[in-house]
Amino acid sequence: MRIAVVGSGYVGLVSAACFAEIGHNVVSIDNDPDKITALERGEVPIHELHLSELLDRHHNHRLRFSTSLGDSIRDAEAIFITVGTPQSETGEADLSYVESVAREMASALRGQQLVVEKSTVPVNTCDSLRRALVLNGAPSQSFSVASNPEFLREGTAVVDFLYPDRIVIGADDEFSRTVLSKIYAPLANGTYYRQREAIRLHNGVYDRAPIIVTNAKSAELIKHASNAFLAMKISFINAVANISESVGADIQQVCAGIGSDSRIGPKFLNAGIGYGGSCFPKDVQAFRMVSEQCNYEFGLLKEVTKINTEQQRLFVKKVQSALWTLRGKKLGVLGLAFKGETDDVRESPAIAIVNALVKEGATARAYDPAAMRRAADLLPKEGMTFASNPYDAAVGCDALLILTEWREFAALDLERVRRALRHPIVVDGRNLFDPEKASRAGLIYYSIGRPACMPDRSLLTGQEEDYAATSHRIESPLSAGATS
């Protein structure tokens, strides 16, 4: 089928490349000429597994790029809108980019075409989109509007697209249902997975994508409710982790116990410094605003956000408690991205934490495998340096902080880390290490929701032993909260 994708950001570019991969002829449109020129030159603007491979494979065959919306959508059978819906000052989703696309698109629509809303939008946006198109001159018989929310995680977006848990088709008429079903047929009937060159799923068997057909409003709600639920799961486990730490339990054992209940499941129960990124913080807030507009006070969502913010403050307190005071302390920082395997730093808890620590008078030496360039603009100019590898970040530091769950960090040689540090203290905001291993490597190891671990004394120098002896107790996160 002929597909146009309006907006070549994370969602748009991945969707365009994947639609081409499953056999469609795709044009990816963006109004930023620099972005389109770079894509035409073969540059890939985002760090996303398999994306370069797909762009290489399909560019100038089934995939092209354009800055011209009007010309590019004229022949398209389906036009996906994937422009940003940032958070406005009031917390609602700002739909002005969607509206401006609708305005520009209206005069170019002709014949039977399907306009699909794929960006995350509040419920009722399909109705508003329909109205905006007609208001701006599109003949109402010439198009249908449907919702097809994306559930792509950054870092695994290509695989998430091609091997989805579900594809939601939110259609209010037969035409929309038919077009969207045809577009996703290679995934729904499994023909894609049998192709020799298909991107493979490394673990697990997968033979067809489940399709859920709903009306447009339900599809819009599914997206907001899914993200809000996932954010709630993280805040819930973080709250439990704080209690676990206070009473000397182990959050990982608690999670194994909770997660083995099939109604709860083991995923998305990693305690840490809270969620970030371009979706969860904004979507929880936007969903709350939707509920307000429905005259429903969804207080739970307020609490989800509050716990998440509090989690960062408690981590700063934990570092302070481990070091006694922060002023003049040199901190190694591993991780700046909002999660592992991405260069995205939007709403990253790591950035908020580093800023807070430097504001308290500490200096930071940070390393992130992909996000340092993007992070530099959001970090203090003074009191901040960047390292060339994780061990380099630790050299001469009073403590090493783990702020992003990069796989690379989980594989660090902890003895080498200890040798690089000035004091053998690691404060792990992502629970990447086994406390016993950290102890055997001679580290004083603090993590989230687990008891602090002291080093095996035989490994310490005299001075380190004195230090460890005075570090045996860190305030529990809850008493740290109470004293602030």
Q: Which is nearer to ligand UDX, 3 or 228 (CB)?
A: 228
Distance in Å, CB of 387 to ligand UDX, minimum:
21
Name 96's Cβ contacts closer than 8 Å, sequence gap at least 6. none
Neighbouring C-beta atoms of residue 3, cutoff 10 Å: 25
CA distance 193 to 459: 52
CA distance 258 to 270: 12
Neighbouring C-beta atoms of residue 215, cutoff 10 Å: 16
Q: Which is nearer to ligand UDX, 115 or 230 (CB)?
A: 230
Q: Which is nearer to ligand UDX, 19 or 161 (CB)?
A: 161
CA distance 277 to 154: 9
Which tokens belong to 478?
A: 């809850």
CA distance 195 to 209: 15
Question: Strands 25-29 and 2-6, how do they pair?
Answer: parallel
Question: Using the 8-state DSSP alphabet, how is residue 453 labeled?
Answer: B
Q: Which is nearer to ligand UDX, 25 or 270 (CB)?
A: 270
Name the residues annotated as catalytic.
279
Whole-Å CA distances, 339 to 161, 198, 336: 19, 27, 8
Distance in Å, CB of 274 to ligand UDX, minimum:
6
Give residue 195's region: left, alpha or beta (phi > 0; psi -120 to 50).
beta
Whole-Å CA distances, 388 to 64, 80, 303, 379, 406: 37, 41, 39, 17, 15
Distance in Å, CB of 233 to ligand UDX, minimum:
7
Listed as own residue / partner, the contacts of 189-194 with beta carbons closer than 8 Å and 24 or more positions apart are 192/21, 192/22, 192/23, 192/162
Distance in Å, CB of 205 to ligand UDX, minimum:
22
The residues facing 51 across adjacent strands are none
Distance in Å, CB of 92 to ligand UDX, minimum:
18
Distance in Å, CB of 54 to ligand UDX, minimum:
18
Helix or strand or coil: residue 106? helix
Q: Which is nearer to ligand UDX, 94 or 415 (CB)?
A: 94
Give the helix/strand (H/E) hosting 182: helix 174-188
Q: Which is nearer to ligand UDX, 35 or 223 (CB)?
A: 223
Q: Which is nearer to ligand UDX, 153 or 182 (CB)?
A: 153
Distance in Å, CB of 234 to ligand UDX, minimum:
5
Q: Which is nearer to ligand UDX, 283 or 398 (CB)?
A: 283
Distance in Å, CB of 143 to ligand UDX, minimum:
26
Q: Which is nearer to ligand UDX, 448 or 468 (CB)?
A: 448
Q: What are phi and psi of 252, to 5 degrees?
A: -70, -35
CA distance 359 to 114: 51
Whole-Å CA distances, 327 to 458, 467, 475: 31, 18, 19
Q: Which of 152, 172, 163 is nearest to 214 (CA)?
A: 172
Which tokens belong to 17?
A: 């490349």
Binding site for ligand UDX (CB under 6 A): 150-154, 227, 230, 234, 268-270, 272, 275-277, 279-280, 338-339, 405
E strand intervals along 152-260: 167-171, 211-214
Terminal-residue alpha carbon distance, the chain: 59
Distance in Å, CB of 282 to ligand UDX, minimum:
9
CA distance 76 to 142: 13
Length in residues, the chain: 484
